[in-house]
Amino acid sequence: MSLKTQLIVGASAFCLALGVNSLALAKGAQSPYDTIYEVIADTNLRAAPEAGSKVKVPLDKGTEGVVMRWCRDEFNFRSWAYGSLSKRRAMLKVRVCEVQVNGTIGFVDAKFLDPM
């Protein structure tokens, strides 16, 4: 079972206990920071937000379970909460974010992330 499947199954069980729609947790979270992401193209996890900064680890396409910590520029939470998936993807395209992947924290261009 893939990490994505495990996360969705676990979240679904939790949400059923709370009476919450699990799809809202996956792609419809109210905040970009409540959303789990997947890497959609090979890229690097960097030590700093700047494009030329030291590479910490490579991130392969298909890496799941990326947790966003904060971004530069900050998100408009209302636009995120009520925006379509395509609008959320457009918001990601113009940001650099600090993320955590498999216990490692670093920076990535958010255009390489997609909500799971």
Query: SS3 of 86, please?
Result: helix
pLDDT value of residue 25: 43
Domain that holds residue 38: 30-115
- Residue 97, domain CATH: 2.30.30.40
Is residue 3 in a domain?
no
Is residue 20 in a domain?
no
pLDDT value of residue 31: 83
Is residue 6 in a domain?
no
pLDDT value of residue 11: 55
CB 41 within 8 A of CB 112: yes
Is residue 72 in a domain?
yes
Is residue 78 in a domain?
yes
pLDDT value of residue 70: 92
Is residue 12 in a domain?
no
pLDDT value of residue 20: 45
pLDDT value of residue 106: 97
pLDDT value of residue 21: 44
Residues of the chain with pLDDT under 50: 15-16, 18-27
Give CA–CA dist 49/86, Å, rounded. 24
pTM of this structure: 0.72
pLDDT value of residue 47: 98
pLDDT value of residue 9: 56
Tens-place pLDDT, residues 83-104? 899 999 999 999 999 999 999 9
| Domains in the chain, number | 1
Is residue 14 in a domain?
no
Is residue 9 in a domain?
no
Peptide bond into 34 cis (omega under 30): no
Query: SS3 of 5, please?
Result: helix
